[in-house]
Structure formats: structure tokens, C-alpha cells
Amino acid sequence: MLPADCSLRLVAELRAALDACGEQQRQLDQSLRVCRRLLRAWEPTRPAAPEPTPGPEPNEEDPSPACAPSLQDLTELELLTQALEKAVRVRKGISKVGEGDKAPSLKPRTVATPPATTTSVPPQAPGQAGNGTSETRSPRGIRQPKVPARSLPEHRLLSTRERTSLGRGARATRPSLGDQQVTPSVTPLVPEAFTLKEKGTLLRLPMAFWKAASQNAHLWAQIDSTQASDSANAAARTRFLLKMQAAVSCQACGSLRTGGRLKELPGKSQHGMTREALGSAAWATVLAPTDCVQEYRCLLLLEGLQATVGQCLHWLQELRKGGADAAWSPQPLLYSSTQELQTLAALRLRVAMLDQQLHLEKVLMDELLPLVRTQRPCCAAVCRAVHSLLCNGGQHFPTVLQDEPAD
Amino acid sequence: MGRRRRPAGRAAGTGTGARALPEAIAALCRTLPAGPGPETFRRAKFDLPEAAPALWRLLSCVLSPRSEADTTGSLTREAQVRLVKSAMRSQGYPRPALFQLPEDGSQGSRELLLALSWLLARGPLIEQLLARTRVRLGDEMPVCECEDLACGRASPGLPTPSKDADSCVDVRHVQWLMGKLRFRWRSLISSHQEHCALLSKIHKYTQGCHSDRNLGHLSVAETELLRDPEGGQQLLQMLEFENVRLEAALEWRRLEQVFWQWMDTVLGASPPDSPNAGSQPTFLPSIPERVAGELELVSRELQALQKELQEAVEVRRASWEAQVRGQGPEWSAEMRASKEAVGQELAALWQAWEREGSLAQPHRPNRLVRSEAGAPPGQGLWATEAIGALRSKEACLEAVLCWLQGQSQQELAKLAGALPGVIWIPPHGR
């Protein structure tokens, strides 16, 4: 058993690490859910591409008779596509059952549809009732090249077969398959199975959002640039801080009130500030030591400051080599393949993990080595455990053999 | 006093003080997250107690650590007061009056106003607060491990729980925790890999959709808003709200000088103070400007300073050595004590400097953009470069870890060798 303070520290450190990991995992799981949902079939809320037909919200309209033939063609194409998709999915096995997000071949989610069709629509919607997404007139959104029209009965047959085979799966079967009267007059209803894979390139961001987003980017860029040329304000701030410091009276030799931020002071107007800062605040305290002790302390302080300033200079050198501007607005991080992205993510995590391991190693060495040194006689089991912790991060154990001397 | 729109042609900060000050304060209130009204500032100058609660709330919101920023609204007044005091102490606030304010948070509005100004003067506080709650439109991936690290350490300031018999654990429990941690890392890494694959797909499938040609494709957040209009509305509202705060921040920057002039009067109005017994040295503000010419100037300043210090040291040393000759044996104890005290002060100085030095360079957020290899990056950063930098960091850390483990192993081998009647076989490879 480890002593109390040692135990507390080790457990605290490990628990903090575990909690951080757990929190990251939780957030990542949430992102994963969102991503997976996006890659399945869903319905975009806007027309997928700018079209010549007017009206951004065509959902409520009845299709004009003039459009009917092309709508029909496109709808039939959609039906065929969906049916084929479903066939592929069913063949692979229904794995994601029960979520209700997976688009059934006909997604009659159209709520505000022309009344004539409502009767045939709802029964075919397993699990769709919960979806509140608005529908879209998908045929309008897709300006596909003309496709030869197919005979309707064939489609219905296909869909029927499709639905039957689906029904054999875990999904609730719709008993009245004959109900699905997808007649041409009802074509506007038929929602498509939209997947990013096929039609992602047709999406467009809404105007209002795009305006706000570009305004946002513009403002952040302005914030960056005003920071870069901010010397007048910087002078005012520095003066205020010094005044505040001066209002707190300096005592004798014990404390020094300037610091290593000198490198941050920009601009010619700051030179006087630097001098002043050091001159007034600092030297006043070291000029008049009253006795031997204070004399010594002065000396030590000055030597220490000398070392600090040397370090500052060194740091400054490094900084000038780097030359990166601090900025608040995001910069693009360009990648060209999934592999690259994965490598980047893996490496970053590995570096974080290594850093954590390093920290834990130091903590363990701090706590465990003294114990092992001082415990006499040293128990072999404890030694073995400590060795595994310290030398392998707990992954491997040394082997310990009892070697009784032969009598 | 209203929030008058300034005419566009007016030069920055040179408006008459009487007109510009209310606008400056109003801009400040609009940009701060839990911003009090401008009245609060005026009341605080005269140390009126009505202004205190709002300022305590504001400071506790501003100072709370990143992960808990949302919950400060639910803290009690006393909890807010404690949080503010401890945070200001750890940042090295020089005025002790703040720490003497009563816990019920009913007084001290002027002191709080000074504390807020101190925070504003020291660093890019407004920008940091805005960045903390920034609406993330793109898919972001940090290229450094800083954020991960900040969360994964046990905070040193935690009060140690009482030590009782139950808190003793077996070393096997520690081993178990380590194993659990390793497992969690593995899961995390594999989840990240899946995430990357999905992101890559989404980016590929939406190529050419984005209204911004430089970005080219949609991010998850943008695609999501197309899928879910309600969520999209919320996102839009958050964006618009942030735009308002950003505009207020820019206006604040234009009018800031007037505020500092006013704060001088506030400072003048408050009684002078004696420093804390253990107060830390404060530091001049961090302004993240990295213009090469100015660095050069600062560097020359520092060199001149170093020369001055060198001369001062020589003089002091000579005079001290003359003095110390006459001292007796008890002097060495005094010397040691002095050395320790000064050493501590210098260490505190150095530590705070280092900590702020690393914080002074906030890492820029990165938005993932899928792009053809070989295209010019423009303003951006290629993943391959980031990968290269990370690889060298990885190698460095691995080397240090190996060395540390080697040290432990040597020591343990020695100890184990001293065990009677036992043969010690290290695991394979070591």
C-alpha cells in the first residue's frame, strides 16, 4: 500500500488525465454522430441549385401543368435511383435499423402537400413522422440531363418489390402496398433520397447566412489589423499600469517592479517608456541600501536581473527568427487527401499523449522512487510494480525469480 | 448619454472628451460578454455600492477558466467573489484593497473598476474573450497539443482532500489507472481517424458549393445548417450577435484613449495603498506586435539595459565585499536566507514571464480546407508542414521520455540487485 499523500497525488493526476480524455472522447462522439448523419440520406431545406424557376419556397405550390411531364420524368428517375440504392443497401444487410433516419425508398415526409395526395402518403412512412424537416421539391432542384421516361407500372412494380423485400427486414411492413399510388398527378410529392455523395455539389448556402458569415470574417480580419498597428493605445495602457503601480508604494529593496515584458513594447514612443519604467520604479529601490543585508540583497537582485535580461535577449532572437503575427481570425489548413488528414490528427494526438506521459513519468518518479529507496527490506513485488510503471508506462513487467540457495 | 453613431469622418480618439467617453464606455459594454450598463461604470467611479454586484459578475465571467465560462452565471455572489479574488491573486494584481473587500460582494465598485482596467491594460482581453466564444463555422483542427495539455493536468491549486485511511491505494490500482488511460488514448485516436475520414468525405462531396472560392467546399457546420433549418437559424443568430460584439470591439479600439484618460482620474480618486506582503511584481502589457523593426529597437534597449546592470553589479559587488569583511560567523545564515528570498522573487518573476510569454502567442485557429496538392496556400498552412513540425516534436519528446525511463530503470536495477535471493530479469528490450 502506498502512503496517503503519495496515493492522493498519483490518483489525482491520473484521474485528471482520464477525465480530459473522456471529455475529448465525448465531444468527438458528438461530432461523429453529426458527420454520420450528414453522410446518410437527408433533405436539404433549400433548392439544391439556383434554378430559372422563381420562388425559393416551392414546397407549397402545386406544380404547373406545363412542368408536369418533366417532373414526372425526373420523379421516375428518382424512384429508380432510390430503388436501386435500397437494393444495394438491403443486400448489404440492414445494419442501421430503427433509427428512422435512413431514407426509405419513398419518403413521404411532405407534410404540406396538396391535399389530394395525403391519403396515400402517410402509410408509407416508417418512422418519418418524427422528422420535422421541411421538404423540398427535389425534381426542381435537379437540373439533370433528360432521361428517357420509363413506364409507370414498371416503376410501381419495382417499388412494390423493393418494399416487399424491405418489409421482410426489420422494418415495419406496410400492409397496403397497393396504396402507393404514385401517379403522375401526385408526382410533386415524391421526395428524393438526397445524399451528399450524389448531390452534394448542388447545395448552396442561404443568402442571409452567407452575408453574416462574410461580415464575420471581415470583422475578424479588421481586429487582426488594428492590433498590429496599435501603438498609441499601447502607450496609454502602459502609462496607466505604471501609474497604478506607482500608486502602490515601493518598499525598500525587497521587491522590484519591472518585468520581462520589455520585448513586447513596440514603437519609438516606447523607448522613453522603457527607460522611465526602469529608471523610476527600479533604481529608486536599489540606490540607497541602508545596511549590509540590504546591500547583499541588492547585489543578488541585480545579478539575477542581469541573467533575466540576458534570457530576454535570447528569447527575442528566437522571436525574430520566427516572425509570426499573432492573429485571431482562422487561417486555412490545406490538406490534399484523407491519409494526410489522418496522419496529422494521429501525430498531434501522439505528441499530446507523449507530453502527458512525460508529465506522469516525472510525477511517478517523484513519488515512487523515494518510497522504493527508503523501504528496507525492499519487497520484490513492489519493485516489480514500480519498475513496470516507471520504465514502460505499465505495459511490461520484469520477471522476478526466487532463487533459493541450495542447502 | 446614448449610443450615438459616430460620423465616419471623425478621427480616432480625438473627439472631445465629453462626447467620446460615453461612446467608448458604451462600446466596451457591448463587447464584453456579461456587460453591465454604462451607468455602472459611472457609479463605480464614485464607489457607489449599487455598481458592485454587476462588476463582480462581470469579472467572474471574464476570469473563469475557459471550460467553465458558461457556468459562472449560476454562481452565488460569494462564489463569484472568491473566484475573482483568487484569479486576480494568481495573475499578480498589485493592489491589496481588492482582496480586502467583503465576501458578500456589496462594496468596492471602484476597486473592481480598477481591477477591470488593469486586466484590459495588460493584454488583449477583449479579443481573448471574443475568441473564447467564437462561432466556429469551419472544421477546425489544432496543429499543436496545447489545448489538450491544458486540460489534462491536475490543477495544482486544488485543496488537497483530507488524508484518511481510505485514501491509501495499492500500487496495483495505479497500474490499473494507467492501463485505463492507455486504453482511452487508443479509443480516442481511432475515433479521430474515423472523424477525419468522414470529414474528408464531406469535404469531397461538397466541392464547389461554397460561396467563398478560397474555401471551395462546405464544412460540417454549414452542411448541417442546410439539413436542419432550426439549427441553422440558431447559428445565424449567434453569428449576428458575434458581429455586433466585434463591431463594438473595433469601436472600442478607436476610442480607447479617452477611457484611459478617465481611468487616470479614477485612480487619482482612490486612496493610495501599501503593497501586499507577498505581492508579485506586475508586468507591462503584452501587445502582440511582431514587427521586425520594433523588435530590433526593443533588443537594443535590452542590450543597453544589460550594460547598465552590469556596471551596477560591479559597483555593488565592490562595495559589498568591502562591507562583508568585517562580519562574523552568523553572517552566513543571513546570507543564505537572503539568497533564498531573492531567489524566490526572481523565480516568480521568471515564471510569470515565461507563462505570459507562451500565452502571448495565441495559436491561430485553423480551418480545414481540402485542396489539390501543389496549389499555392495563400494565407494558409499546408498540412504537410504541420506534420513535419509535429514529427520533430514527437522525436524530441520520445527521446526525453526514453531517457527518463532509462534513469528509473538504472536505479531500480541497482535496488533490485540488492535484493537477496532474487533474480531480476527486465522485460524484453530493456
Distances from the Cα of A50 to the Cα of A70, A202, A203, angstroms:
18, 9, 9
A202: pLDDT confidence band, cut at 50, 70 and 90? confident
pLDDT at A19: 93
pLDDT in tens, A264-311: 333 333 333 344 434 433 443 444 556 777 777 777 777 777 766 666
Which residues of chain B have a CB within 8 Å of the CB of A3? Answer: 168
Closest-CA residue of A relative to B382 is: A334
pLDDT in tens, B241-261: 999 999 999 999 999 999 999
| Closest by Cα among B243, B91, B329, B309 to A311 | B309
Q: Which residues pair with A25 in a beta bridge?
A: none
Q: Is the CB of residue A121 less than 8 Å from the CB of residue A108? A: yes
- Contact check, Cβ <8 Å, A295/B319: yes
Q: Which three cell numbers stand for residue B193?
A: 481517424
Distance from CA of A396 to the nearest CA of B (A): 6
pLDDT at A284: 37
Which residues of chain B have a CB within 8 Å of the CB of A326? Answer: 288, 290, 360-362, 364
Q: What is d(CA A373, CA A393) in angstroms, rounded to the nearest whole number?
A: 20
Mean pLDDT of all residues in A138-147: 41
Whether the bond into A377 is cis, omega within 30 of 0: yes
- Contact check, Cβ <8 Å, B369/A335: yes
Kindly write down the DSSP assignment for every residue of B23-52, as one continuous string. Answer: HHHHHHHHHSTTPPPHHHHHHHHTT-GGGH
The yes-or-no verdict on residue A147 having pLDDT over 80 is no
A22: pLDDT confidence band, cut at 50, 70 and 90? very high
pLDDT at B197: 95
pLDDT at B328: 67
Angle value at C-alpha B134, between B130 and B136, nearest 5 degrees: 165
pLDDT at A24: 93
A62: pLDDT confidence band, cut at 50, 70 and 90? very low
A130: pLDDT confidence band, cut at 50, 70 and 90? very low
Q: What is chain A's mean pLDDT, rounded?
A: 65
Give the percent of chain B with pLDDT over 70.
76
Reported ipTM exceeds the 0.95 cut:
no
pLDDT at B208: 86
pLDDT at B429: 57
Q: Up-side HSE of residue A227: CA atoms within 13 Å toward CB?
A: 25
Q: Which residue has better confidence, B144 or B199?
A: B199
Q: What is d(CA B204, CA A336) in angstroms, rounded to the nearest whole number?
A: 10
pLDDT at B321: 81
pLDDT in tens, B66-81: 655 566 567 888 888 9
Q: Is the CB of residue A372 less than 8 Å from the CB of residue A382? A: yes
Q: Is the CB of residue A41 less than 8 Å from the CB of residue A106? A: no
Give the percent of chain A with pLDDT over 70.
51
Mean pLDDT of all residues in B393-404: 80
When scoring A131, A240, A365 by the number of chain B Cβ atoms within 10 A, the one with the most, hence best to mutate, is A240
pLDDT in tens, B266-312: 888 877 665 554 454 445 444 333 445 566 777 777 788 778 878 88
- Contact check, Cβ <8 Å, B211/A355: no
Which residues of chain A have a CB within 8 Å of the CB of B346? Answer: 301, 304-305, 308
Kindly write down the DSSP assignment for every residue of A296-328, as one continuous string. Answer: HHHHHHHHHHHHHHHHHHHHHHHHHHH-PPP--
Residues 6+ away with beta carbon under 8 Å from A380:
A400, B416, B419, B422
Mean pLDDT of all residues in B372-399: 79
Which residues of chain B have a CB within 8 Å of the CB of A26? Answer: none
Q: What is chain B's mean pLDDT, rounded?
A: 79
B196: pLDDT confidence band, cut at 50, 70 and 90? very high
Pairing label, strands A194-195, A41-42: antiparallel
pLDDT at A359: 87
Mean pLDDT of all residues in A382-397: 82
pLDDT in tens, A342-376: 999 999 999 899 989 988 998 898 888 888 888 75
pLDDT at B165: 57
- Contact check, Cβ <8 Å, A342/B212: no
The yes-or-no verdict on residue B387 having pLDDT over 80 is yes
Distance from CA of B29 to the nearest CA of A (A): 17
The yes-or-no verdict on residue B422 having pLDDT over 50 is yes
B156: pLDDT confidence band, cut at 50, 70 and 90? low
pLDDT at B73: 64
Q: Which of B15-24, B283-292, B325-334, B347-356 shows the lowest mean pLDDT across its residues?
A: B283-292
Q: Which three cell numbers stand for residue B296?
A: 530590433
Pairing label, strands B422-425, A399-402: antiparallel
pLDDT in tens, A212-253: 999 999 999 999 888 767 778 888 888 888 888 777 744 322
pLDDT at A166: 41
The yes-or-no verdict on residue A25 having pLDDT over 90 is yes
The yes-or-no verdict on residue A101 having pLDDT over 80 is no
pLDDT at A118: 40
pLDDT at B188: 96
When scoring A37, A233, A257, A368 by the number of chain B Cβ atoms within 10 A, the one with the most, hence best to mutate, is A233
Partner-chain residue, chosen from A28, A215, A270, that has the shortest CB–CB distance to B192: A28
The yes-or-no verdict on residue B30 having pLDDT over 80 is yes
Q: Which of A24-28, B17-21, B40-44, B358-362 shows the lowest mean pLDDT across its residues?
A: B358-362
The yes-or-no verdict on residue A317 having pLDDT over 70 is no
Q: Which of A401-405, B94-98, B117-121 shows the lowest mean pLDDT across its residues?
A: A401-405
Q: Which residue has better confidence, B58 or B289?
A: B58
